[in-house]
Structure 1
Amino acid sequence: MPPRSIGSSRWATDLRIPGLRSWSLTRHPHALIYLDGPDHIDLLRVLHHRQDISPTFT
């Protein structure tokens, strides 16, 4: 799992979902989409880089 609060918060702003973060995997063309909670993280999706994230959360 990615370290807490290290992933990008770009999608949180674009999709208006507080705490939403993404972490790109270096050796694979995938990104982890997760919510950063106070004492844990919730992994929501593992997306291929060619997938569009917007339909996933609308």
Structure 2
Amino acid sequence: LFRFSHGKTVWVIHGITGKTAKLFWKNIVNHEKVTVTFDRKQTGIAVLDPSYHKSNYFI
């Protein structure tokens, strides 16, 4: 995904509750290019805008 993304990319990923999906989502949250994430139980939203400070929210 990162290869096809730029500084204004927003990802919406549905289905982040399974074992493999949780690991995938955790890797996204911890990635240096991802600045803001929103965890909505089954859906994750990731923002790759470098002008934002690193923040993670659980909604």
Report the TM-score when normalising by structure 2: 0.31
Highest RCO, 1 vs 2 (Cα 8 Å, sep ≥ 6) = 2
Report the TM-score when normalising by structure 1: 0.31
